Amino acid sequence: MGTFCSVIKFENLQELKRLCHWGPIIALGVIAICSTMAMIDSVLWYWPLHTTGGSVNFIMLINWTVMILYNYFNAMFIGPGFVPLGWKPENSQDSMYLQYCKVCQAYKAPRSHHCRKCNRCVMKMDHHCPWINNCCGYQNHASFTLFLLLAPLGCIHAAFIFVMTMYTQLYNRLSFGWNTVKIDMSAARRDPLPIIPFGLAAFAATLFALGLALGTTIAVGMLFFIQMKIILRNKTSIESWIEEKAKDRIQYYQLDEVFVFPYDMGSQWKNFKQVFTWSGIPEGDGLAWPVRKDCHPYSLTIEQLKQKADKRVRSVRYRVIEDYSGACCPLNKGIKTFFTSPCTEEPRIRLQKGEFILATRGLRYWLYGDKILDDASVEGVSRIRGWFPRNCVEKCPFDAETDQAPEGEKKNR
């Protein structure tokens, strides 16, 4: 019990409320259905426990379930780690490089950002995930990524059990044109016959669980791929957007400088070890981070301050070139847009051709920003904020008359 408590630490019993949310309810429901049906199908109809293979198969199913739930609850309850309330750098002069959070009454440590859902500044914040009802950040990034890896692997194993169960049970009952296929089914023969026959209800439940397993494998597998890409670059999704705006600022003002991301250690293995360690505890304290030799310790926060002071790069203006209905996962916007829909509770905004959007952050195939309302159709609301597909908009050319650069920064264009 002491070991368990040392791994999962609850700040207070209020943390249990994270389970009372649609994200964890759906996620745990899918895990429960796939795991339970895989064990039932395996023991009753496909691979009996009295055989060596059946025993190993059953142990593997239990192992997948335990590891998936362990990393899931770690990611949920350990949390990302929050910047202490009232925090300030040890060297008071370093505060000039940091932003101040009025809500937390503290300076934002490097790589930290304020989450409106958690109402705290999160260390190395990547995103707020509705499936764990918590942020993904410094402390739980490894557990969250391992969950994204183990869930598809467990679902692939379960899907194999579902397919083989339906095949072995229906092989001698229905004709699907398989009579020419030579497959050794001796391992699946049951002697005596199973106590519970494989009826219509069992077939429907197995088919439903197979659909959940395949859907989870595709969706969660895509998320794992995205997370591994940013981990190997030692970035977060927020930092990727900051880097994109930094390059845009340099290009616009034609500055003789190159933005170098300071936290990329120059080696994928070194970047990998920043998140995954043998002890399970990430490197550092989440407040100070090692940087490249050719970078200032506060290179990224200095860039954030520049972008905050520059109204033009604080948000990038886009013009809508294609209508968008506001669907969460639009099928008509491309397969990549469909499968990379942001996993967040933040809304999508409906777009019509010719409208203008101010994007403040984004992903590879999605952008987040404000749509300015020109009329008073929505009382008391001047703008609508949310996500929209990147391929529905195009970046507007800069207007030299309305987009003036600060004196001393703009060169001849």
Q: How far apart are CA 106 and CA 96, in angstroms?
A: 13
Annotate 183-210 with b (16+ C-beta within 10 A) or e (fewer).
eeeeebeeeeeeeeebeeebeebbeebb
pLDDT at site 151:
97
| 3 state SS of 117 | coil
Angle among Cα 76, 77, 83 to the nearest 5 degrees reads: 100
Which tokens sit at 66? 């335990």
Q: For the segment 292-348, what is each residue's pLDDT rounded down to a tens digit?
A: 988 888 999 988 888 877 755 567 788 999 999 998 888 888 888 888 888 777 889
pLDDT level of residue 178 (50, 70, 90 thresholds): very low
Under 8 Å between Cβ of 395 and 316:
yes
pLDDT level of residue 374 (50, 70, 90 thresholds): low
pLDDT at site 346:
82
More confident residue, 146 or 199: 146
What average pLDDT does the segment 30-43 reach?
93
Q: For the segment 131-162, what is each residue's pLDDT rounded down to a tens digit?
A: 999 999 999 999 999 999 999 999 999 999 99
More confident residue, 34 or 171: 34
pLDDT at site 398:
54
Asked whether residue 387 carries a pLDDT value surpassing 60, the answer given is yes
Question: Which residues belong to the active site?
Answer: 129
Q: For the segment 215-261, what is each residue's pLDDT rounded down to a tens digit?
A: 999 999 999 998 999 999 999 989 988 888 888 888 877 888 888 99
Q: How far apart are CA 84 and CA 397, in angstroms?
A: 42
More confident residue, 132 or 400: 132
Q: For the segment 49-103, what is each residue's pLDDT rounded down to a tens digit?
A: 788 888 899 999 999 999 999 999 999 999 999 999 999 999 889 999 999 999 9
Mean pLDDT across the chain: 83
pLDDT level of residue 371 (50, 70, 90 thresholds): confident
Pairing of strands 393-395, 356-362: unpaired
Q: How far apart are CA 318 and CA 395, in angstroms?
A: 4
